[in-house]
Structure formats: C-alpha cells, structure tokens
Amino acid sequence: MDGYKSNCISHRKCDIHAAASWKRSLVLSCLIALVALVLGGLCVWTLFPRKVARLRAKIEHSVRMIEVRWHLPEEMKNIESPLLVVRRDEHSYENPDFWIAHGGGIGEFVHTNCKEAVQDSLRRGFRFIELDLLETSDGHLVGGHTWKELRTLAGADAVNEAPMSRSEIEALRTKWKKTILFAEDICQLMQKNPEMILVTDKIQDFALLSKEVPFRERMIIEAFSCYGALRAFQNGFHNVALTAYSVHDLRNAQQYRIPGIVLYAPLIEESAEALALVQQLHQSGCCIMVHCASVCDKPDYVHRHLGKNISRTYTNTWSPSAPPPQP
C-alpha cells in the first residue's frame, strides 16, 4: 500500500513537472516567435521601405474612410455654410462674390501672400481673398505658398523647403520690400475690413488655425479629402469646400453633400461626365469654385461657365472693378 502511494505521489510530481515544463516551453516559443516577428518586420522595413510605407498609407486611408463614413453624414446634418452660396447671375461680372484673389492678390501680387497684396485686393473690390498659410517650426502661422517661395521672395540666404521659426522670418522682414503676414496681421486686416473673407488651403492644422485666426465664420477652408473636411467641421469650421481633381472627387462631394467644391478648372472641359456631375451639384446648391488660372482666367471660359456651372473663380488677372469684357 505504501508503495502504491509512493508511486501515485511520484506520478503526480512527474505530471506537475511536465506541465511546468510544457508551460515554459510554450512561453519560450511565444517569445521566440515574437522576436522573430519583430526582427522580420525590421528586416522588411529595412529592405522594402517603400512597400511598407505604401501598406501603412493604405491602412491609414482605410481607417480614415471608416471614420468618414461613420461621422461625416452626422456632421452634415447640422452644418450651414452661408459663404458657400450658388451664384446664377451669369453676366454680373462686377459682383465681388464671383472672384477670389489668388495668393493674396492679382497681377504683381499673385502668390505673394503679403500685406500689400491683401490691401490692393480690397481696394479693387475683392471680398474673397485666398492666402496660403505655412506653419513655422515653432508653431505659428505665416503667409506663404511654399517655404522655398517665401525664402526666395524675402531674400533668405538658404532657399529650400525647411520650415523657419518666427524669429528667423522676422529677421527677413527688413530685406523684402513687402510685408510678410503673420496671423495677427491677418486678424488686424479682417478687423479693419469686415467684408473680407479669408480662403485658405495649405494649413490643415485646424485647431492652430482657429486659435491664431479666430474668425471661423469668415473663413472658407479648402479640404484635400473627405477626412480633411470632417476634421474641419469637427473643429468648428462650417464653410468647407472639397478639392476636386477627378470624377471620383466629385462623386465623394455629392455622396457626402459637401457644401462647396474647389474644382480643377480643366476637368469640366475635358470630361463630359465631370461636367454633368458639376451641373448636378451646382443645381443642388453646392458652391463650385474653380482654380488653374491658365484656364479659368480666359474670358471664353468665364463666359461658358460662370453663373451657369460654377459660382466663383480664383483669378490672377480679373477683379470686381476690372472684370473680363462681356461677350
């Protein structure tokens, strides 16, 4: 009997030892697999960085589109966009609602995004003034189409796309004959000119924009994607337009009932399907604004589309006080 008990105890000890050994083996195997997975991932990342980047971008895009499909229809239920109205008075070219001063102004001021450009545009009768905004390396907003262009215009020693700090930009103010615009300068212009509407697209940090230029009700935001439009709406901007370079972009705007579109002007000249979609959107109350001055500044383009298929156009040439000649 004692021998039987001893055997049972011995077997139990063996079972316990075997179970413990099995658990240790399982944990060790999992750790080895995890290390192998990490090392394999690092190898793939190192050997195929472009493929990994593309995969990551696809995953991020998929996640964002899920968020768009879930939240954007709800956001649109409560959105009113009084600055994005449809214009149908086809031949009233003096109407300031038809024109957007490109990059701050027209003529010599195109793409300068400077104070003098805005002042000149206001004198010419513009209400809608587009300014490209860049974020400095220390988190402020400054007028500029690209860092390279701003550096070139302002006479910086190094001409590249590296962001500058506010203090570096202030040091350049003495070199350029024109006045570089910071956020507070834009605010002063908007306070002095209550008719001025700011149109902007470069900056996509909407929280920073809202903080530095607290005139959300007097701004039109150009969003580069439905996700960007959603983020703008969520940050309290109601006048949001989706950029459209393709039929797919137009369908997205139609599907989600985006109140405005910034349309690549040649698209409706090259695609009958795009023109049909734009006409549908225009009739449904979507404000169509066109850009690409080499096309939309041509008088015949203006005559064909303004007030019929589009409501507003960016311009490098015309103004409410000096519009294109009537047909």
Say if CB 312 and CB 289 are below 8 A apart: yes
| Calpha distance 120→117 (Å, rounded) | 5
Evaluate if residue 57 carries a pLDDT over 70. no
Q: What is the pLDDT of residue 186?
A: 98
| Calpha distance 321→96 (Å, rounded) | 9
Phi-psi map region of 307: left, alpha, beta (phi>0 left; psi -120 to 50 alpha): left
Q: What is the mean pLDDT of the chain?
A: 86
Instruction: Give the pairing of strands 133-135 and 141-143.
Output: antiparallel
Q: What is the pLDDT of residue 7?
A: 47
Reported as a single tens digit per residue, the pLDDT across 278-293 is 999 999 999 999 999 8
Nearest Cα to Cα of residue 243 among 268, 226, 219: 226
Reported as a single tens digit per residue, the pLDDT across 13-23 is 455 555 556 66
Q: What is the pLDDT of residue 173?
A: 76
Q: Rounded to the nearest 5 degrees, what angle is found at the Cα of 206, between the Cα atoms of 200 and 208?
A: 105
Reported as a single tens digit per residue, the pLDDT across 82-139 is 999 998 776 678 899 999 999 999 988 888 999 999 999 999 999 999 999 999 999 9
Q: How confident is the model at residue 32 (pLDDT cuts 50, 70, 90)?
A: confident
CATH number of 86-315: 3.20.20.190
Give every CB contact of residue 91 below 8 A, 6+ residues apart in sequence. Answer: 307, 326
| Calpha distance 302→91 (Å, rounded) | 10
Residue 2's DSSP bridge partners are none
Reported as a single tens digit per residue, the pLDDT across 166-216 is 999 988 877 788 999 999 999 999 999 999 999 998 788 999 999 999 999
Q: How confident is the model at residue 8 (pLDDT cuts 50, 70, 90)?
A: very low
* Cα torsion 295, 300, 306, 309: sign: negative
Q: Give the mean model confidence (pLDDT) for residues 142-169.
A: 91
| Calpha distance 40→86 (Å, rounded) | 56
Say if CB 198 and CB 172 are below 8 A apart: no
Evaluate if residue 70 carries a pLDDT over 80. no
Domain ranges in the chain? 2-68, 86-315
Per-residue CA distances from 68 to 63, 234, 256, 307 (Å): 9, 12, 9, 31
